[in-house]
Amino acid sequence: MNWIYPLDLIGTLVFAISGVLTAIDKKFDLVGSLIIGFVTALGGGTIRDLLIGRSPVGWLTNRHYLLAIAIGLLLAYLFRETIVKLRRGMFLFDTVGIAVFTVLGVRTTMAAGFPVEVCLIMGVVSAVFGGVLRDVLTNEVPLIFRKEIYATACLAGGVVYLGLESLSGLTTLSTLTAIATVVVIRYVAVRRGWSLAIGV
């Protein structure tokens, strides 16, 4: 299923931008911002890989992820003001990003042979711990802990994926439906004014 791979890279790129912008808001310097961008983009998948014993962690053996982050960091510096104005567009990519991270987290964990509840946990970990690490490193209470819908949407997406995939055996259909679930839940929540933060 090749089409999910570019989505994963776009999600990584958007998370990197989100990390850099947060760091700039905090008046971090260049290298500090780069580090926060990296951690935001790769933190969730890294923690998942460490926990399930996938060694070395995935992004060390695939240059595309580092390239996606490098582009994200460059874009964040060059077009910072434009990006802040395009917050709405960023939000779409960010939401697709967390949806893709959730499903890929679930699938990576399934492929490693873990039971269903562990797959679900790892889907959420993949999607949210990049942002958690970003907030810890910038000395904030992780936003996700006070904005329920973000992790809840991931959880719902993971449940939908696991349910559909075990019923139908159709990976692509299950993936698309799960991604749509995350996006719809988050959009409805935002419409009701719960949150519009990028990369929460």
- The footprint of a second copy (CB under 8 A) covers 23, 26-33, 35-36, 38, 46, 50-53, 55-57, 60, 63, 66, 112, 114-115, 117-118, 121, 128, 132, 136-142, 144-148, 151-152, 155
Compute the least distance from the CB of residue 89 to a second copy, in Å.
26
Rank residues 30 and 173 by Cβ distance to a second copy and give the closer one.
30
Q: How far is the CB of 94 from a second copy (least distance, A)?
A: 18
State the DSSP string of the chain.
-TTHHHHHHHHHHHHHHHHHHHHHHTT--HHHHHHHHHHHHHHHHHHHHHHHT-SS-GGGG-HHHHHHHHHHHHHHHHTHHHHHHTHHHHHHHHHHHHHHHHHHHHHHHHHTT--HHHHHHHHHHHHHHHHHHHHHHTT---GGGT-THHHHHHHHHHHHHHHHHHHH--HHHHHHHHHHHHHHHHHHHHHTTS---TT-
Q: Which is nearer to a second copy, 10 or 35 (CB)?
A: 35
152 vs 171, beta carbon nearer a second copy? 152
CB of 51: closest distance to a second copy in angstroms? 6
* Distance in angstroms (rounded) separating the CA atoms of residues 178 and 160: 5
For a second copy, which is the closer residue by CB, 5 or 145? 145
Q: How far is the CB of 57 from a second copy (least distance, A)?
A: 6
Closest distance of CB 155 from a second copy, Å: 7
Per-residue tokens: 101: 């991270």
- Please identify, using beta-carbon distances, which residue of 136 and 176 lies nearer to a second copy: 136
